[in-house]
Structure 1
Amino acid sequence: MHEIVSIRPLLAVIASLAVTPILLSARSPNVREGWTFAAGAVKLGIVLSMLPAVLGGNVFCFALTEVIPGIRLAFRVDAMGMLFALVASTLWIVTSAYSIGYMRGLDEHSQTRYFCFFAIALSATIGAAFAANLVTLYMFYEILSFATYPLVTHHQDEEAKISGRKYLFFIVGGSVVLVLPAMIICHMKAGTLDFAPQGFLAGHVTQGLAAVLLLLFVFGLAKAALMPMHSWLPAAMVAPTPVSALLHAVAVVKVGAFSVARVLTGVFGVDLLAQYGLGILLAVLASITILVASFIALSQDGLKRRLAFSTIGQLSYILLGVALLTPKSITGGLVHIAMHAFGKITLFFCAGAIFVAAGIKNISEMKGLGRRMPITMGAFFIGSLSVIGLPPGGGFISKWFLALGALESHELAFLCVLLFSSFLNAAYFLPIAYNAFFAKPPDDAKEVGFQEAPPWCVVPLAFTAIASVWLFFNPWPFLDLARLAAAQVTGG
């Protein structure tokens, strides 16, 4: 593995942050959104410029400053970080386009503030993806928390304020009360907080202390929504739908799942987790979350709430894959970051388009909607297939590797969890698409004919739906990056 010292990781982080003063001073919405796209293109270009070298097994490094003696604010771009950064920087551009159609379509207030915090959130996301140590990861994790708070509370009504307080209580409170002490203990025991391919705690902690640290990290990193640290996520659905898409596919929850994966592999290490049986502990916690969240999703009539509980379960697929500690399971867990992102963002885009065009929020009101919105509901069906894990959705690839990983680890109970939960996924998604196209519309429904949302809403959701299918046939580079990352952390 060759280390390349380069400023490009820092440039990728600040690309969107640098345009926020311009966004604030822009007098025209077109200028504001034009600069948003420009920043997105620059960010994606910088990330792509590092892709060939990372696929070749190299890493990019850049140290910015020393926070305290011996602990630096530093970036390190390896296969795992590149996978997440590529997903986030690609989907930010798509989500920005969708935001134009949604925010303008509903004539939302404070659109400039919205786009500014959106840009800051993406800078924090890339910073977390490229973090070289726990301090850098923690800093950008918290910046993301505070940058997304104004987005969650965008409507500024009482419901939004209550949801915002819950949001900060779980994701900031959890990290301060649980993660900070865990970091201090790690530094006291190992003398470092720098991520290492096989972790840095081996030989420094007992089994009991390792178990305590594991629980502090996985529950303290509450953006991963492992139960019972999950209730902030359904509450955050009060936000505008593009924010929900940001939360569920591009940034917040994926930063949570990615951070847990990074801690498991870069702090504990696969060998230590296997030696102390901690992988099984986390796999059990993730399996409980997967099944309970799936059952709750079945009972939700609000479309965004059903999607929210679906996300809680899907995040734990990522944790389960890493917790099984085999090359195939880790590959499946990491590539699920990408596959779930494209599928779930499609579903949220569809939910927003339905609200913009028809004013519908509840699943019970969507019967016959496919006749009015065939493009949107067709995309919803494709996104559903991907999240369920059925061909030709890209989610099939990640769940296939997760299943192979469960077999590879000889843990058939977790294979049963994967299969049964996928059945539950189908049970809460497929009836929506079926009723939209084949059920009779409600008697009080108006005959309005073809009524899709504005093109700025429809084109992004069509793009992500097509991308979900494309990833089934050609999962490059996400699968390659996931395999490489799995090989790096398992020593394969």
Structure 2
Amino acid sequence: MNWGEALPLLVVGSSLVPGLVIFFLPEERVATRTTLNLAGAVVKLLLVGVMFFGLLNGQQYQTRLPLLPGIELVLSAEPLSMLFLSLSAALWLVTTVYAIGYLEGSPYRSRFFGFFSVCVTATVGVALAGNLVTFLLFYELLTLCTYPLIVHRGTEMAKRAGRDYLVYTLGGGALLLLSTVWLHTLSGTTEFRAHGFLSGLDASLHPTLMLIFVLCIAGLGVKAALVPLHGWLLKAMVAPAPVSALLHAVAVVKAGAFGIIRIVYDVYGIEFSQSLGLTLPLAVVAAVTILYGSFRALFQDELKRRLAFSTVSQVAYIILGIGVAGPVAATGGLIHLVHQGVQKITLFLCAGNLAETLGIHRVSEMNGVGRRMPWTMAAFTVGVFGMIGAPPLAGFFSKWYLGMGALASDQGWVVWILAGSSLLNAAYFLPILYAAWFEPAPTRWPDERCLGQQETAWMLLIPPLITATTVVVLGLWASAPFSLVEWVSLIVSRAGSE
């Protein structure tokens, strides 16, 4: 096995091996567990960097392992997979640092960090999957290893949330399995290709292919939290803050959205999807999800629940960009895969800081908190304005490309969806900022645990400051050479040109 074949396996194994070791560590081996966590995250990021620059220089990275006759496990690095892979590797390092600080002194840390590492392994496998079978295997592994993280606290509420999560996600996985088998039967392959592998099939199969497309989107739409398949996400907020950040910004919902991108681009092909009339209904479902999530967020007093409805809305921007089926809108959707991840992880890490430091769980408890925790709320403020789409932050460019792409594709109705959603974003986020910065603080906080001059533990404070800075940098860097926008434009042109 040469370097090009070995590197994808090393990227996957850099989190799997430490995770398996961590499972067997006694709870008191804190230093060893911390070293393994951070070493795995750093090594993974370095390997992804090597892969990224190798890809730029024309190197090919692909691993093929036989599973069954005619079916292989394929890990392949190409521009689209590197987009999701880079996001996962970078944010996982940040989340690992945060989780180590967040869970200090908590029980069952070896179990938590073992599943935490296997979870990133599954996410990386989803990103690197070179065919639908490989995608399905890692997609279902992601379901199984996320469940213990959701129920980690062991309360009755956590157990109910975990059961609901399994019902939703295993049901979605069953639909995806059915679709995968059906597609392999019809086409003889499940290999991802730049323009899809279905367009050459006989026209008599087109109604069947339309049905399979619906099944695929339904199966993937569970994890992507498309309405009405989003219910599990709200209940899963009972999980610890690092898990919430993981669910919303890096792993689960992004795996669903990324899977939909794969189906449209690499299974059906964007042109064939349009010819079958599949892209417009997909855009409509995304638009409904955007408005529904934003509207429901208005009425949530629990902070994490408000952020969860925001995720329902924001992830649908990615699907909307794909559904519009124009290159500019697709660019907006794909860059939002990254922008939403960085912005949303900032908000959830800050929410975790408020809960762990002051016992704040509700919006109504946040009066004056900006003066008590100024750095945390400064990072939260950046994340909020990024979500609203204020220039020059990252979120502005997502919405700009989505809007310009919709107009270029003669789908002006999308602009009204974006405008309405942005107004709703402002309506449910800005009152939080006003209360935090301008309302008088209470005489005592619900449960203050970090007394004196210290804002919060440094391992809780540094990660959201890093991600908030990244939101600013991604916005300022958007028009520069070698920017994220330029990389995504390459992906879109590759998918749309024969």
With the shorter chain as reference, the TM-score category is: over 0.9
- 2:219 is aligned with 1:220: yes
Secondary structure of the 2:193 match is coil
Partner of 2:385: 385
Structure 1: how far apart are the matches of 2:325 and 2:209?
16
CA 435–44 in structure 1, closer or farther in 2 if over 3 Å, else same:
same
Secondary structure of the 1:6 match is helix
Deviations 1:126-154 (A, max 9, x none): 10000000000000000011011000000
Report the more deviating stretch, 24-33 or 284-293. 24-33
Partner of 1:187: 184
Partner of 1:36: 37
Partner of 1:462: 465
Report the more deviating stretch, 67-76 or 226-235. 67-76
Partner of 2:423: 423
Where do 1:6-405 residues align within 5 Å?
6-26=5-25, 27-55=28-56, 59-65=60-66, 67-104=67-104, 107-176=105-174, 178-204=175-201, 206-221=205-220, 222-405=222-405
Report the more deviating stretch, 127-136 or 211-220. 211-220
- Partner AA of 1:133 in structure 2: N
Structure 2: how far apart are the matches of 1:304 and 1:49?
36
Per the TM alignment, residue 398 of structure 1 is displaced from its structure 2 partner at its CA by 1.7
Structure 2: how far apart are the matches of 1:53 and 1:291?
41
**Could you state the TM-score of these two structures normalised by the residue count of structure 1?**
0.95
Structure 2: how far apart are the matches of 1:479 and 1:179?
31
Structure 1: how far apart are the matches of 2:324 and 2:61?
28
- Partner AA of 2:246 in structure 1: L
Structure 1: how far apart are the matches of 2:97 and 2:53?
28
Deviations 1:71-95 (A, max 9, x none): 1101111111001000000011100
- Partner AA of 2:490 in structure 1: L
Per the TM alignment, residue 211 of structure 1 is displaced from its structure 2 partner at its CA by 2.5
Q: Over the residues paired in the alignment, what is the CA RMSD in angstroms?
A: 1.9
Structure 1: how far apart are the matches of 2:492 and 2:98?
33
- Point out where structure 1 has 5 or more consecutive residues left out of the alignment: none
Structure 2: how far apart are the matches of 1:445 and 1:352?
15
- Partner AA of 1:374 in structure 2: P
- Partner AA of 2:141 in structure 1: I
Per the TM alignment, residue 60 of structure 1 is displaced from its structure 2 partner at its CA by 2.1
Structure 2: how far apart are the matches of 1:30 and 1:412?
56
Contact 2:19–2:116 at 8 Å: present in 1 too? Answer: no
Per the TM alignment, residue 443 of structure 1 is displaced from its structure 2 partner at its CA by 6.3
- Partner AA of 2:162 in structure 1: G
Structure 2: how far apart are the matches of 1:364 and 1:165?
30
Per the TM alignment, residue 68 of structure 1 is displaced from its structure 2 partner at its CA by 2.0
Deviations 1:420-440 (A, max 9, x none): 111111111121112100012
- List, as ranges, runs of 4+ consecutive aligned residues in structure 1 with deviation greater than 6 Å: 446-449
Structure 1: how far apart are the matches of 2:320 and 2:345?
22
Structure 2: how far apart are the matches of 1:70 and 1:23?
36
Per the TM alignment, residue 382 of structure 1 is displaced from its structure 2 partner at its CA by 0.1
Contact 2:249–2:341 at 8 Å: present in 1 too? Answer: yes
Q: Kindly tell me the number of residue pairs found equivalent between the two proteins.
A: 486
**Could you state the TM-score of these two structures normalised by the residue count of structure 2?**
0.94
Deviations 1:336-389 (A, max 9, x none): 111111110000000000001100100011011111011111110001111222
Contact 1:324–1:330 at 8 Å: present in 2 too? Answer: yes
- Partner AA of 1:89 in structure 2: A
- Point out where structure 2 has 5 or more consecutive residues left out of the alignment: none
Secondary structure of the 1:75 match is strand
Per the TM alignment, residue 39 of structure 1 is displaced from its structure 2 partner at its CA by 0.6
CA 445–223 in structure 1, closer or farther in 2 if over 3 Å, else same:
closer
Secondary structure of the 2:74 match is strand
Match of 2:477 among 463, 474, 478: 474
Secondary structure of the 2:63 match is strand
Per the TM alignment, residue 25 of structure 1 is displaced from its structure 2 partner at its CA by 4.0
Secondary structure of the 2:73 match is strand
Contact 2:12–2:125 at 8 Å: present in 1 too? Answer: yes
Per the TM alignment, residue 273 of structure 1 is displaced from its structure 2 partner at its CA by 1.2
- Partner AA of 1:155 in structure 2: R
Secondary structure of the 1:64 match is strand
Structure 2: how far apart are the matches of 1:55 and 1:337?
21
Deviations 1:236-258 (A, max 9, x none): 10100000001111111111111
Contact 1:58–1:78 at 8 Å: present in 2 too? Answer: no
CA 59–425 in structure 1, closer or farther in 2 if over 3 Å, else same:
farther
Contact 1:55–1:480 at 8 Å: present in 2 too? Answer: no
Contact 1:128–1:255 at 8 Å: present in 2 too? Answer: yes
Per the TM alignment, residue 30 of structure 1 is displaced from its structure 2 partner at its CA by 1.8
Structure 1: how far apart are the matches of 2:162 and 2:74?
31
Structure 2: how far apart are the matches of 1:39 and 1:21?
12
Secondary structure of the 2:473 match is helix
Structure 2: how far apart are the matches of 1:407 and 1:422?
17
Structure 1: how far apart are the matches of 2:343 and 2:495?
27
